[in-house]
Amino acid sequence: MPLNERDRIEILMMIGVGDRMRTQQEVCRLFHEMHPDREPVSQSTVSRIERKYRELGHVRDAPRQGRPKTNENVQQDVILSALENPHCTVRQVSRDLNIGKSSVSNIFKKVKYHPYRVRLIHELAEDDFDRRTEFCEYMMDHNNQNNGFIANILFSDEATFFLNGHVNRQNTRYWSQENPHWMQEYHTQHPQKLIMNLCVTLWTHCIIPYVFKCIYEVCKLSNETGNVAPDLATLRRRDLEGR
């Protein structure tokens, strides 16, 4: 247990003055006799306390360096920062208020603030609802005509990497005590992006992934799988001609 200011003053009194001064070893023994339940002090500690008193005239702790300790006013400032800008980060609040990041996180946790993520949803056009209905009817009709239709579908998906600062939901937060159900629409097409397409064939309960640079190169799949999949190039051409 560290010594407080009162303990240091007591040690100074034990040292004494004039011709009634005790040695450092005697002071350590006397302090231990008066406080047997505490950790004994060392002679170097007694020497350091005596030297500090002679040089500074007191035995108080020096002012601590670094950021101030969190108090009620700081807590209110942190909450106010989140109210004024719900999208702020812990790092920003820490820098603006000159307090530690761990203190900011603890305050948010104490007042039950949670960093909710944005939910990205596709932007829908007016005719999208009719097209969805038509697709469902198409799938139901073909499945009724052929029970194995669903099992032989070629599914595809794509991962898009935007180059012009598009919303990154991993780095976007909304600080709030309740879920704001924050959503943002985004376009399916973008002028600056990189697309990696992933095609997965479901054939006799086997999953075979293929990655392509462009969706139009998916026609290579028919050759790489030994013509197990249909001629996708032909299907793509028919689809374009039908539009």
How many domains is the chain partitioned into structurally?
3
Q: Are residues 144 and 203 in the same domain?
A: yes
pTM across the whole model: 0.34
Does 67 map to a domain? no
Q: Do 165 and 221 belong to one domain?
A: yes
| Residue 190 and residue 174 in one domain | yes
Distance between CA atoms of residues 118 and 56, nearest Å: 57
pLDDT of residue 214 exceeding 50? no
Q: What would the mean pLDDT of 157-171 be, rounded to a whole number?
A: 52
Contact 201, 184 (CB under 8 A): no
- The answer to whether position 66 is within a domain reads no
> The tokens of 172 are what?
């976007």
Sign of CA dihedral 83, 87, 90, 96: negative
Burial status of residue 103 (CB atoms within 10 A of its CB: 0-12, 13-18, 19 or more) = buried
Whether residue 63 lies inside any domain: the answer is no
Residues 47 and 86 occupy one common structural domain: no
Residue 64, domain member (yes or no): no
Provide the pLDDT for residue 75.
86
d(C-alpha 30, C-alpha 43), whole Å:
12
Q: Specify the pLDDT at position 28.
A: 92
Q: Is the dihedral of CA 100, 103, 107, 112 positive or negative?
A: positive
Q: Which domain holds residue 43?
A: 5-56
Q: What is the CA radius of gyration of the chain?
A: 36
Instruction: Provide the token pair at 217.
Output: 């190169």
Mean pLDDT of the chain: 71
pLDDT of 119 > 70? The answer is: no
The SS3 call for residue 205 is: coil
161, 97 in Cβ contact below 8 A? no
In-domain check, residue 166: yes
Spatial distance between the Cα atoms of 95 and 93, rounded to a whole number of angstroms: 5
Structural contact between residues 11 and 27, judged by C-beta atoms closer than 8 angstroms: yes
Determine the Cα–Cα distance for residues 129 and 152; give it in Å rounded to an integer. 26
> Looking at residue 33, what is its pLDDT?
92
Within 8 A by CB and 6+ apart from 25, the residues are 43
**Stronger pLDDT, 45 or 1, i.e. the higher one:** 45
Residue 62 located in a structural domain: no
- Average pLDDT rounded to a whole number, residues 118-136: 78
CATH number at residue 106: 1.10.10
Query: Which residue is it, tokens 């009620």?
Result: 72
Q: Is 203 inside any structural domain?
A: yes
DSSP helix/strand/coil, 120: strand
